[in-house]
């Protein structure tokens, strides 16, 4: 196991989970929490924080936390981090923002959204490359979902010899077919061909949506 395994898994950021704040790129805090929950488990069980102190210095709310985490493989750790926020009108809101800042910084020490903290989001080229990478990943994931369904239902339709069974089979897959046609056309074509063969075999009229 490499020391960078965790870092490599969580370091890349989806541009849709960021927004520009002046010259800086702000990370969607709840998306970051979601990613940490997927990695460690629920807040308070696999990771979390304790507020150690809150103070106001020169118009800024400053929060100090003790951050901790642990993985299923036994690796764990804890350390302190600070967060800050400008106090405008409501002091309580400033402390909430400072706490969010502290959590974001603490997670960044483990590699979460490291590409943002490394300044890569300052490059439009990098951001567009990330969008393309995510699009390709989503396409692969969608295809795998369709392939799982295809592997399940294809042997069934190939063995059907009763019209009622064919209608029931079609009803089960009907909602998935438009998505399969869009995202896994080769699987769709094979499934529709198998359905047509089964229809001829059992002598039942075509079901319109598969035409």
Q: How far apart are CA 142 and CA 158, in angstroms?
A: 24
d(CA 87, CA 97): 10
What is the SS3 assignment for 169?
A: helix
Query: How much is the pLDDT for 136?
Result: 93
Q: What is the pLDDT of residues 123-158, one digit of tens each?
A: 999 999 999 999 999 999 999 999 999 999 999 999
Backbone angles phi, psi at 34, to 5 degrees: -60, -45
Domains within the chain, CATH numbers bracketed = 5-120 (3.10.450), 135-210 (no CATH)
What per-residue confidence (pLDDT) applies to 206?
53
Q: Which residues pair with 68 in a beta bridge?
A: 48, 78
pLDDT at 34: 96
Per the DSSP assignment, residues forming a β-bridge with 64 are 53, 82
- pLDDT score, position 40: 96
Q: How far is Cα 138 from Cα 132, in angstroms, rounded to an integer?
A: 10
CA–CA gap between residue 150 and residue 166 (Å, rounded)? 16
| Cα–Cα separations (whole angstroms), residue 126 to 14, 87, 116, 122 | 11, 34, 11, 8
Predicted local confidence at residue 209, as pLDDT: 46
Low-confidence ranges of the chain (pLDDT < 50): 208-211
Q: What is the model's pTM?
A: 0.73
CB-based contacts of 118, cutoff 8 Å, min separation 6: none
Edge-to-edge order in the sheet of strand 47-57: 47-57, 60-70, 76-86
> What is the structure's pLDDT at 8?
95
């Amino acid at each position: 196991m490499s020391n960078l395994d965790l870092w490599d898994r969580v370091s890349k950021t989806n541009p849709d989970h960021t927004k520009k704040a002046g010259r800086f790129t702000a990370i969607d805090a709840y998306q970051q929490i979601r990613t940490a929950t997927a990695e460690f488990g629920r807040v308070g069980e696999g990771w979390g924080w304790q507020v150690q102190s809150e103070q106001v210095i020169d118009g800024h709310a400053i929060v100090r936390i003790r951050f901790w985490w642990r993985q299923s493989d036994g690796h764990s750790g804890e350390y302190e981090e600070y967060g800050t926020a400008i106090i405008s009108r409501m002091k309580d809101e400033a402390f909430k923002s400072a706490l969010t800042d502290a959590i974001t910084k603490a997670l960044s020490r483990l590699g979460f959204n490291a590409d943002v903290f490394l300044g890569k989001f300052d490059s439009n080229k990098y951001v567009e490359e990330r969008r393309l990478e995510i699009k390709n990943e989503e396409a692969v994931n969608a295809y795998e979902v369709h392939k799982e369904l295809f592997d399940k239902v294809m042997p069934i339709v190939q063995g059907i010899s009763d019209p009622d069974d064919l209608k029931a089979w079609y009803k089960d897959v009907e909602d998935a077919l438009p998505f399969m046609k869009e995202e896994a056309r080769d699987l769709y074509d094979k499934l529709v061909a198998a359905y047509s063969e089964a229809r001829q075999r059992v002598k039942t009229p075509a079901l319109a949506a598969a035409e």
